[in-house]
Amino acid sequence: MPRPFRFGVNLTRPTPAAEWRATCRRAEDLGYDVLLVPDHLGTVAPFPALVAAAQATSRPRVGTFVLNAGFWNPVLLAREAATVDALTDGRLELGLGTGYVREEHERARLPFGSAGERVDRLRRTVEELDRLLGSEEHLPRPVQRRVPLLIGANGDRMLRLTARHADIAAFTAARSAPGSATGLLPLDAEELDERVTLYRKLAADRAEPAELNLLLQIVAVTDDPEAVLRPLLEHVPGLTLEQARELPAILVGPLEQLVEQVRELRDRYGFTYLTVLEPYMEDFAQVMARLREA
């Protein structure tokens, strides 16, 4: 029996307090289950934003999507997470990743490191968080017995770490673009199949299966997919319109087609928790509503 669908929105715009609260309430009214924030310079500071989001709403959970482990000392992060969980009455979901934007580390005067070093840093952070938040002696105490841990992963070592530790396994359906410090290229269906298959193999001995999450990169309810996808086609040499429309993390087309694509994401890969970026919040809400009518 598959898990019920859950839907999250990653709120990325730094806004004044009144506008932030209004956006959070709008997401709640649209039916989103989780209000999320990223961890990039130029966006909101994650933990104050989550407390404000929880205060403005009553139903959605709140979470990070995802924290850059290179920005955080694990001991201080445990304090932040426990405090936010307490102040939000146990609504926190903690998302972690390695970080992938070198320029942000340079601006913050923090070491970036190789891909392997960043995975090692994340592993140490996760293990320390498990130790601290799992101890009855740690103060402050979170409300939840275990704050759900989401790990954003794609590479083999990251999938192994996710299989071992994460309550929520988040797939970006994208990989780093060669020669780019910030760019990502979308995975096609076969590439994502391979990643999910490897994760399932690594997680085969888990007592409790993790929830599988997918970040949708572009969402648009439209009868003119080419107009929406033109910037992507220009960004990815050789990608055709038809290929772009078949990418798992791209939902662009008429409403009923998008509803069927989401059902296929669940049936083919097992994704029951889907996240969209803030600019697509309104369009994806139409898909959510249709799925919940069924």
Mean pLDDT score across all residues of the chain: 95
In this prediction, residue 237 carries a pLDDT of 86
Q: Quick check: is 287 in a domain?
A: yes
CA distance linking residue 245 with residue 239, whole number of Å: 10
Q: Quick check: is 57 in a domain?
A: yes
Helix H or strand E encompassing 124: helix 115-133
Q: Quick check: is 255 in a domain?
A: yes
Question: What predicted TM-score, i.e. pTM, was given to this entire model?
Answer: 0.96
Average pLDDT on 243-247 reads 95
User: What is the dihedral angle through the alpha carbons of 173, 290, 94, 207, rounded to the nearest 10 degrees?
Assistant: -80
Predicted confidence (pLDDT) per residue in 29-53, tens digit:
999 999 999 999 999 999 999 999 9
Provide φ and ψ at 72, rounded to 5°: -130, 135
User: What is the percentage of the chain residues whose pLDDT exceeds 90?
Assistant: 92
Predicted confidence (pLDDT) per residue in 165-190, tens digit:
999 999 988 776 554 444 567 899 99
Who contacts 15 (Cβ-Cβ below 8 Å, separation ≥6)? 23
Residue 140: cis peptide before it, omega within 30 degrees of 0: yes
CATH number for the domain harbouring residue 226: 3.20.20.30
Q: Is the pLDDT of residue 23 over 60?
A: yes
Residues of the domain holding 92 = 6-293
Q: Quick check: is 69 in a domain?
A: yes
Q: What is the count of structural domains for the chain? A: 1
CA distance linking residue 264 with residue 259, whole number of Å: 9
Q: Quick check: is 50 in a domain?
A: yes
Determine which of 106-115, 156-165, 181-190 has the lowest per-residue pLDDT on average.
Answer: 181-190
In this prediction, residue 184 carries a pLDDT of 65
CA distance linking residue 161 with residue 109, whole number of Å: 27
Q: Quick check: is 1 in a domain?
A: no
Helix H or strand E encompassing 107: helix 102-108
Q: Quick check: is 73 in a domain?
A: yes
Which residue carries 């649209």 as its tokens?
A: 30
